[in-house]
A and B are shown apart, each in its own frame.
Chain A
Amino acid sequence: GAVVSQHPSRVICKSGTSVKIECRSLDFQATTMFWYRQFPKQSLMLMATSNEGSKATYEQGVEKDKFLINHASLTLSTLTVTSAHPEDSSFYICSGKGGLNTEAFFGQGTRLTVV
C-alpha cells in the first residue's frame, strides 16, 4: 500500500515551546490529510481535516490557534503544537487520502511529551 512518513516518532519538549510534526505522502498525492490524537487508554480522536491549499477544518473543542495545520502541497502536511503544555502530551497521528473514495493511509505516529 501507499506510504505516509511521519516525523519525528518521539519528541520531548519544554513547556511553552512549539513543536512541529511532519507527514509526507511518499508515493501518492494526499488531497486530504486527517490529524488525530490519542490520550492514554482513550480512542484516536480526529482533531482536524485539511484539504491541500485550503484552511483546515477543526473538530469541536480543538483550538485552531494552538494546533496549526499547514497543507500547502499534495505531499506534505504539518501540525505545529504552539506553546505546548504538559496536557498536550499525547500520541499524534496523521492519515492522508488521495480522493473521495480512496483508502486513507496512516503515518507511524508521534509521541509528544511536554515537560
Chain B
Amino acid sequence: GDSVTQMEGPVTLSEEAFLTINCTYTATGYPSLFWYVQYPGEGLQLLLKATKADDKGSNKGFEATYRKETTSFHLEKGSVQVSDSAVYFCALSDPGAGTASKLTFGTGTRLQVTL
C-alpha cells in the first residue's frame, strides 16, 4: 500500500538557518503530495501541495518540489524563524481522490528554532 517516510526529529536550528526536512513516498499511481504543519495547541494546517511531477508548492517561504524520479517531496526554507517551530507532516492522497481525501501521513518531524 501507499506509504510516506519522513526524517525523524526533532530538528533543532538557529534562527535564519536553512531547513530541509526529507520526505519520500511509495505509491502505486501518481499521488498528490502535501505538507501539513501543526503549531502547538492547534490542528494540522495545509502548508503547501503539489499535484503532479515537477510541480513546486510554496507558501510562507517554504517550498517543496514533486520529484517523481526520486519519489521525494522534501520541504525547504531558506531562513527559518522562531515562529516556524512546529511539527511538520508529509502526506499523500490517493490518485484521483480529490484534494486531501484519505491522506496517508508520515510520522511528523518536530522543528525547534532557537534565537
A contact residues vs B (CB 8 Å cutoff): 1, 4, 6, 9, 32, 34, 36, 38, 41-46, 49, 93, 95, 97, 100-109
Closest Cβ–Cβ distance, residue B73 to chain A (whole Å): 15
Report how far A42 CA is from B43 CA in the complex, Å: 18
Q: Which residue of A lies closest to B4 (CB)?
A: A43
CB atoms of B106 and A43 under 8 A apart: yes
Report how far A109 CA is from B87 CA in the complex, Å: 13
Closest Cβ–Cβ distance, residue A37 to chain B (whole Å): 11
In the complex, B35 has a CB within 8 A of chain A: no
Q: A36-B105, A44-B108, A97-B100 are in contact. List 16 more A-B contacts (CB 8 A).
A: A1-B45, A9-B41, A34-B103, A38-B105, A38-B108, A44-B105, A46-B102, A93-B43, A95-B43, A97-B101, A100-B98, A101-B98, A102-B100, A106-B36, A107-B43, A108-B41
B contact residues vs A (CB 8 Å cutoff): 4, 8, 36, 38, 41-46, 89, 98-108
**B38: chain A residues within 8 A (beta carbon):** 106
Q: Which residue of A lies closest to B44 (CB)?
A: A106
CB atoms of B105 and A43 under 8 A apart: yes
**A4: chain B residues within 8 A (beta carbon):** 43
CB atoms of B43 and A49 under 8 A apart: no
Report how far A100 CA is from B96 CA in the complex, Å: 11
**Given A42-B107, A43-B107: A49 touches B42 (CB 8 Å cut-off):** no
